[in-house]
């Protein structure tokens, strides 16, 4: 069987709870987010991974640690740099710039969707040929773009893969095609590894 990428979005933070753009601001997990991270450990306890990676931002690192994993930190997994919209909700941004979308419009003073996709592509290229499954702890929009790029879709198609906090998504293969085996699976009982 071909190796898979197992993606975990970090546990809840105060900013994710209220829908604020959380790119490079290093916000901590809430107590509920810490509980979610421990539940991820239960969900993934029967898996064997060739490698475990995490964004170096605290919310992803802490989710991995509380889940029982010691990841290699990878700068290519850092969340989208939201520049001038960092910390603001989408409603607050569109109140000033109606119909603005990070997916299609310029992110002032931040990264553009193609920049994030380039990082996702580099990560996929480095991990796709590892001998067994790879576990990744990261962030909602970056991981959504990673899903799109895994499926060989344009980066903006990441908008079609909203990932909730503390969920597990599994990318793999069916014959020669890259596919999604699971998306946004909530934590709970252990997931079978095969």
- Phi, psi torsion values for 171, nearest 5 degrees: -110, 140
109: three-class secondary structure by DSSP: coil
| Cα(152)–Cα(93) distance, integer angstroms | 30
145, HSE (Cβ side, Cα atoms, 13 Å): 25
Q: Please indicate whether residue 62 is annotated as part of the active site.
A: no
**Catalytic: which of 12, 79, 86, 111?**
79
Q: Please indicate whether residue 142 is annotated as part of the active site.
A: no
**Catalytic: which of 10, 21, 139, 141?**
10
Q: Are 102 and 85 in contact (CB under 8 A)?
A: yes
For the annotated catalytic residues, the residue numbers are 10, 79
């Amino acid at each position: 069987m071909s190796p898979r990428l197992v993606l975990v979005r970090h546990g809840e933070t105060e900013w994710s709870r209220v829908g604020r753009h959380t790119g490079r601001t290093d916000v901590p997990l809430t107590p509920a987010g810490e509980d979610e991270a421990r539940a991820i450990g239960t969900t993934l306890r029967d898996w064997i991974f060739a490698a475990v990676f995490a964004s170096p931002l605290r919310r992803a690192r802490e989710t991995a640690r509380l889940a029982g994993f010691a990841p290699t930190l990878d700068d290519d997994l850092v969340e989208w740099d939201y520049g001038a919209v960092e910390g603001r909700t989408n409603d607050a941004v569109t109140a000033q710039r109606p119909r603005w979308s990070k997916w299609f419009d310029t992110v002032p003073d931040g990264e553009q969707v193609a920049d994030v996709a380039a990082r996702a592509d580099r990560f996929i290229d480095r991990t796709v040929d590892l001998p067994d499954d790879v576990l990744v702890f990261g962030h909602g929009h970056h991981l959504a773009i990673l899903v799109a790029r895994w499926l060989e879709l344009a980066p903006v198609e990441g908008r079609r893969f909203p990932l909730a906090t503390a969920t597990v998504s599994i990318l793999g293969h069916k014959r020669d095609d890259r596919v999604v085996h699971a998306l946004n699976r909530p934590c709970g009982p252990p997931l079978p590894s095969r």
